[in-house]
Amino acid sequence: MTGFLVGISNPKDIIFFVSFFPQFIHVTESFKGSIALLSLLWIIIDLSILFAYIFLMRQKLALKYKRKIEVASSVTLLLIALGGIFYSGSALLNQ
């Protein structure tokens, strides 16, 4: 419960969701459906990553594969950023 309260009161998370979700609001025909779908996807991805962290820490593999984890995380975030840039850029050029 404490983790949830910290997460929900974190201004960084609030700013992220306020700036992130409006870009994708028209995923489905209805606003409620879009928010529900995006929230569900976010929860699934977030929990998957957290469970992977828990698994790695319990196995004490994090120290052994620290560099590989850092590189994989960096590449993933870079690909997400590049995907967003190309998606937004193509939308701007097609206007």
Question: Both 10 and 29 in a single domain?
Answer: yes
Q: What is the 3-state secondary structure (H, E, C) of 25-75?
A: HHHCCCHHHHHHHHHHHHHHHHHHHHHHHHHHHHHCCCCCCHHHHHHHHHH
Question: Both 25 and 41 in a single domain?
Answer: yes
Is there a contact between 65 and 59 (Cβ–Cβ < 8 Å)?
Answer: no
Domains held by the chain: number: 2
Residues spanned by the domain of 27:
1-59
pLDDT in tens for each of the 95 residues of the chain?
Answer: 676 677 667 777 777 777 777 776 676 778 788 778 887 888 888 888 888 877 877 777 667 788 888 899 899 999 999 988 888 887 778 77
Can you give the pTM of this predicted structure?
0.48
Question: Both 54 and 75 in a single domain?
Answer: no
Question: Both 10 and 45 in a single domain?
Answer: yes
Question: Both 52 and 15 in a single domain?
Answer: yes
